Structure 1
Amino acid sequence: MLNPRSETILSSIIRQYIERAMPVSSAAVISECGLDVCSATVRNEMVRLEEEGYILKPHHSAGSVPSDKGYRYYVESIKHAQMSLTDQLLINHLFHQVEKEMENWLSLAAGLVSQRVHNVAVVTQPKQTASKYHHLELVTLQENLALAVLILRGARVRQQLVSFDDAVGQFELTAISQRLNQAFDGLTRTQVEKANVLLSDTEKKVHAAVLKMMQAEDEQRNEEPYLEGLNYLLEQPEFARSQRAHSLMELVEKRQLGRMLGEEEFEAHEIKVYIGQENREQSIRDFSVVLGSYGLPNEARGTLGVIGPTRMNYEKTIAAVRYLSLVMSALVAELYGREPEMGSGG
């Protein structure tokens, strides 16, 4: 553990380096903190911080920069950061302005987080262990052809054409959809397939289409996440004139980012922060990653995260990821007709 003065100096170095991306001198620390000590005392404290691995002195530089260890110490002190009530109300308002569809919420969440923290924001789709039937609509197109629109739990939608041997009118199609909705609501594909329901020949055609759509949904893997803010990353001094961002771009191009983030497991309301070399993936060890989970435990979970330089604004980022995760969890719970998990947003 660092003594209070060392903590103050380390926090000052980190805050100033986050803001300016320039090594921080002892004079700058004194000026920013208002410490009532001489510059020699601050320099001695900075030497100790360097010896203990919390800061580094770049070659030929008169100032110091934080190390991964220094950032970690700092993050532990601000890991419960919360978004202001004013910002929470604004975000709630924006979410209530869009249509109640998962795709709209995911896109909005990624955009809002990215704009707030000026780094890459990533939001993965909430995935279930198995899709669940919610509602079916059948719309006549021709006398022996209909469009089946299947809504799954979590507002996922699938469509498929269904052809019949004989003419089928809209009245009969509506009756079929109502009967199947009553029989299959909340069931998985396997349960729909094995359900003890006596079906007419026409209903069997619809039943087969439903099974096919649910199978397609269950087989869908590694969906590309919603991603915003690559432009912010490329504008950062660390990446503007180097190849360091290339590894992240490769993950995006190879569609591996969603898989990587989706493998994380979370405790309730947990925010995870991986700093530089702490990242398991070799390709992102020049970055820091802040992750949160949203959705319903054991039903549908997604991941919301931020990727940026180790010089990111951790306090603002942690607060944004925490609150947007809570908002998304409440929205998913509403879709599923569940009570949202309780958590602190401010």
Structure 2
Amino acid sequence: MLNPRSETILSSIIRQYIERAVPVPSASVAAECGLDVCSATVRNEMMRLEEEGYILKPHHSAGSIPSDKGYRYYVESIKHAQLPINEQLLINHLFHQVEKEMENWLSLAAGLVSQRVHNVAVVTQPRQTSSKYHHLELVTLQENLALAVLILRGARVRQQLVSFDNPISQFELAAMSGKLNESFDGQTRSQIEKSAMILSDTEKKVQAAVIKMMQAEDEQRNEEPYLEGLNYLLEQPEFVKSQRAHSLMELVEKRRLGPMLGDEEFQGQEVKVYIGQENREETIRDFSVVLGSYGLPNEARGTLGVIGPTRMNYEKTIAAVRYLSLVMSALVAELYGREPGATDCGN
């Protein structure tokens, strides 16, 4: 545990390095840290911070930069950061301007986070453990052929053609879908397969189509996430003339970024921060990752995160990820017909 003076000096080094991307000399720390101490005292404190592994010198004659340990200490002190009220109001306004569709929300969330923190923002689709039936529409195409449009909980949509042995009218299709909607609403694929409801041969064909569509939905995991801000990352001084960004680009190209982020487990509305070597994925150990979870616990959860250099603005990033996660949770709750409660984005 650092003493208050060491904490202040470490915070000054981190803030200056985040802003300027160059090693921070002791004279600059003495001038900007706000402590009423001489430069020699600051130098001694910086030597102690270096000995304890919180900062390091890239060159003997240069200033100091934070280590992963130093960033971690700093992050623990600002991990409850919140967005200013005016930014919260603006974000709420922007979400109310787009149509109520998950794809629009995901794209907007990624764009808003990326613009605010000037790093890569990633948002994964909210996924259910098992998809749940919500509503079925059957539309006649030919006298023996219909299009089945299945709407799942969470506004996911699947379509499939269904052929029948005998001609069938739109009136009969509507009656059939009404019967299935009344019986299957809210059920999983397994529950529908085990249903004891008495069905005609024609209705069994539609039931089989529903089961097949739900199986396809359940097997489709870790879709490519919504991603914004790669241009910000490539403009960072750390990556302009190096190959360090190549590992992240490779993850994007090989579609491994979504699965990597989607595997995280969260407790409530916590925001997780992985700094440099703390990352489990070796290919992103030159980066820091800030992750939040949104959605409904035990029903449908997605991940919202930021990837950037270890020299990222953690305070602004944590605040943005936390608030956008709350907003997205409220929107998902609305889709599922639930009360937002603690996830109300108007708070």
Q: Fold match, TM over 0.5?
A: yes
Deviations 1:152-179 (A, max 9, x none): 0111100111122222222221111111
Deviations 1:63-94 (A, max 9, x none): 11111011001000000000111111111111
Matched, 1:248 2:268: no
Amino acid aligned to 1:340: P
1:308 is paired with a residue whose SS is strand
Mean alpha-carbon deviation: is it higher for 99-108 or for 305-314?
99-108
Deviations 1:20-53 (A, max 9, x none): 1011112211222233221111111111111111
| Contact 1:81 1:318 survives alignment (8 Å) | yes
Matched, 1:2 2:2: yes
| Contact 2:123 2:304 survives alignment (8 Å) | yes
Equivalent residue, structure 1, for 2:153: 153
- Counterpart-to-counterpart distance in 1, 2:69 and 2:112: 29
- Counterpart-to-counterpart distance in 2, 1:112 and 1:168: 49
Rate the CA distance shift 1:41–1:115 in 2: closer, same or farther, 3 A: same
| Contact 1:23 1:61 survives alignment (8 Å) | no
| Contact 2:327 2:343 survives alignment (8 Å) | no
| Contact 1:234 1:245 survives alignment (8 Å) | yes
Amino acid aligned to 2:75: V
1:149 is paired with a residue whose SS is strand
Query: Identity of counterpart residues, as a percentage?
Result: 86
Equivalent residue, structure 2, for 1:319: 319
| Displacement over 4 Å in runs of 4+ | 343-346
Equivalent residue, structure 1, for 2:198: 198
Within a 5 Å distance, the mapping from 1:246-325 to structure 2 comes to: 246-325=246-325
| Contact 1:136 1:149 survives alignment (8 Å) | yes
Rate the CA distance shift 1:343–1:164 in 2: closer, same or farther, 3 A: closer
Matched, 1:229 2:223: no
Equivalent residue, structure 2, for 1:112: 112
2:205 is paired with a residue whose SS is helix
Unmatched segments (≥5 aa) in structure 2: none
Equivalent residue, structure 1, for 2:19: 19
- Counterpart-to-counterpart distance in 2, 1:101 and 1:198: 35
1:196 is paired with a residue whose SS is coil
Q: What is the number of equivalent residue pairs in this alignment?
A: 346
- Counterpart-to-counterpart distance in 1, 2:93 and 2:139: 35
Unmatched segments (≥5 aa) in structure 1: none
Deviations 1:302-329 (A, max 9, x none): 1111110000000000000000111111
Matched, 1:334 2:341: no
1:268 is paired with a residue whose SS is coil
Amino acid aligned to 2:118: H
Rate the CA distance shift 1:141–1:85 in 2: closer, same or farther, 3 A: same
1:342 is paired with a residue whose SS is helix
Superposition deviation, residue 343 in structure 1: 5.3
Root-mean-square deviation (CA, aligned residues, Å) is 1.4
Superposition deviation, residue 110 in structure 1: 0.9
- Counterpart-to-counterpart distance in 2, 1:299 and 1:217: 15
- Counterpart-to-counterpart distance in 2, 1:175 and 1:291: 46
| Contact 2:8 2:33 survives alignment (8 Å) | yes
